[in-house]
């Protein structure tokens, strides 16, 4: 008669064998790369730039699938429940792995335990910009104006719980300024109303805001980036203005469901690094305003955890909720 301990050992051996089979067979069919947002945004753009060279490196096609809804939660939830054999992976963003989980206790996944981090492909600077009619045209004047008039001004974001919302709340917590949050259903509508003057301030990803800044329809005041950007050489970083904790960029990485075999993770990681070494791929990503990262699975896991903890603190300090 087989003892309970023997059954446990048999089960563990079976799991190890299954993982080995997954790794040896991978990839045995096309890979689905899930984007938890609608087509056209920065997340979708980077996924589509990567899909062909990644598929070439892996020897199987990589098909981009958009799973939009719930500020990225629907797509992320589906990914968390997928078979962890590497044939379904997804794009990870600050919104889906840090900001939204920090503010929404009802999210049906644990961002720190339900995914397998693979690699952070790229990071995108964020920017505070104002309508040209705003009284100030530089950061010092902007801060003075909103602190002098608490509650007079409002800011637009792509939605409650997104990076634009929580990064602005982090800014508010550090400066003591008060501006009212106006959430929108995506960056597009938020930008349209800021450009139109209905809302005077926006905190947005640079790729979507930059065309409006270049055309003069928005005025950039400060950016979240490691150093000043070539496209905005006169705009300081948050670190320069004494707000280094806000100097956080949006990330766009690859994750899979929890329990992916290390050998499969290593294959996807190596293939992604190979793709990022292609000058044409690198240029296409950098043309969006993003910076190539390419860190390790462990480094990306640490980054996700750090971002989550930052925004969890913001939510607690600012007493934020989805209501």
| Calpha distance 142→260 (Å, rounded) | 47
Nearest 5°: phi and psi at 17?
-65, -40
Q: Tokens 């089979």 label which residue?
A: 21
Query: Each residue's pLDDT tens digit in the chain (323 positions)?
Result: 556 666 655 655 555 545 455 556 899 999 999 998 878 778 888 999 999 999 999 999 999 999 887 778 889 999 999 999 999 999 999 989 998 999 888 999 999 999 999 999 999 999 999 999 999 999 999 999 999 999 999 999 887 888 888 899 999 999 999 999 998 877 788 899 999 999 999 998 888 888 899 999 999 999 999 999 988 999 999 999 999 999 989 999 999 999 999 999 999 999 999 999 999 999 998 887 788 999 999 999 999 999 999 889 888 888 877 76
Which CATH number, 3.40.50.300, 3.40.430.10, 3.40.190.10, 3.40.50.2300, labels domain 126-246?
3.40.190.10
**Which residues of the chain are in CATH 3.40.190.10 domains?**
126-246
| Paired residues of 180 in beta bridges | 154
Residue ranges of the chain assigned to CATH 3.40.190.150: 4-123+250-318
In contact, 111 and 309? CB cutoff 8 Å: no
- Please report the sign of the dihedral spanned by the C-alpha atoms of residue 48, residue 116, residue 261, residue 29: negative
In this structure, CATH architecture of domain 4-123+250-318: 3-Layer(aba) Sandwich (3.40)
Among all chains, which residue has been given the structure tokens 């644990």? 110
Vertex 236: Cα angle to 230 and 242 (nearest 5) = 145
């Amino acid at each position: 008669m087989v003892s309970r301990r023997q059954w446990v050992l048999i089960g563990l051996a079976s799991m190890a064998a299954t993982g080995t089979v997954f790794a040896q067979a991978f990839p045995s069919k096309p890979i689905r790369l899930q984007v938890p947002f609608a087509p056209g945004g920065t997340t979708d753009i980077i996924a589509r730039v990567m899909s062909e060279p990644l598929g070439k490196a892996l020897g199987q096609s990589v098909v981009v699938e958009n799973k939009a809804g719930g500020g990225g939660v629907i797509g992320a939830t589906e990914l968390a429940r997928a078979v962890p054999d590497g044939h379904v992976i997804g794009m990870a963003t600050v919104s889906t792995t840090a900001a939204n989980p920090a503010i929404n206790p009802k999210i049906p996944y644990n961002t720190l335990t339900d995914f397998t981090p693979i690699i952070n492909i790229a990071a995108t600077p964020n920017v505070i910009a104002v309508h040209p009619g705003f009284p100030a045209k530089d950061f010092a004047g902007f801060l003075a104006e909103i602190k002098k008039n608490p509650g007079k001004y409002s800011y637009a974001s792509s939605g409650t719980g997104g990076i634009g919302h929580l990064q602005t709340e982090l800014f508010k917590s550090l400066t003591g300024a008060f501006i009212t949050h106006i959430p929108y259903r995506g960056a597009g509508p938020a930008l349209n109303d800021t450009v139109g003057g209905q809302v005077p301030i926006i905190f947005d990803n640079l790729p979507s805001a930059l065309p409006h800044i270049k055309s003069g329809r928005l005025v950039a005041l400060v950016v979240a980036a490691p150093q000043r950007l070539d496209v905005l050489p006169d705009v300081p970083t948050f670190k320069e203005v004494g707000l280094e904790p806000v100097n956080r960029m949006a990330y766009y990485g690859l994750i899979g469901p929890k329990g992916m075999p290390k050998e499969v993770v290593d294959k996807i990681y190596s293939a992604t690094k190979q793709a990022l070494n292609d000058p044409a791929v690198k240029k296409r990503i950098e043309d969006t305003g993003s910076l190539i990262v390419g860190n390790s699975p462990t480094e990306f896991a640490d980054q996700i955890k750090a971002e989550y903890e930052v925004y969890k603190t913001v939510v607690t300090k600012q007493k934020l909720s989805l209501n």
